[in-house]
């Protein structure tokens, strides 16, 4: 266990932040999975802006890397374009 008050506080803050980041990362992964599973182009086009906004916010807050967000948006866009 930590010996200093500041390190105890640091541990508490890290645990709280980790839990927060895990929640939003998992929500993002589920949204991406849901969009990839869609076969109807109209529904996918409607959902895409919400997923895109989520990815941009997570990248801005450093929960995911900005290049990962860009790669996911690109691959989702390609998936939507392939739908007929």
pTM: 0.84
pLDDT at 4 over 80: yes
Alpha-carbon span 55 to 72, nearest angstrom: 8
pLDDT tens per residue across span 8-56: 999 999 999 999 999 999 999 999 999 999 999 999 999 999 999 999 9
> 53: how many CB neighbours lie within 10 A of its CB?
10
State mean pLDDT over 57-78: 96
């Amino acid at each position: 266990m930590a010996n200093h008050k500041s390190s105890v506080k640091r541990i508490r803050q890290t645990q709280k932040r980790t839990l927060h980041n895990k929640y939003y990362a998992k929500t993002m992964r589920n949204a991406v999975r849901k969009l990839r599973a869609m076969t109807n182009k109209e529904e996918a086009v409607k959902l895409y802006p919400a997923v895109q906004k989520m990815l941009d916010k997570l990248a801005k807050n450093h929960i995911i890397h900005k290049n990962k967000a860009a790669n996911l948006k690109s691959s989702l866009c390609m998936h939507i374009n392939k739908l007929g």
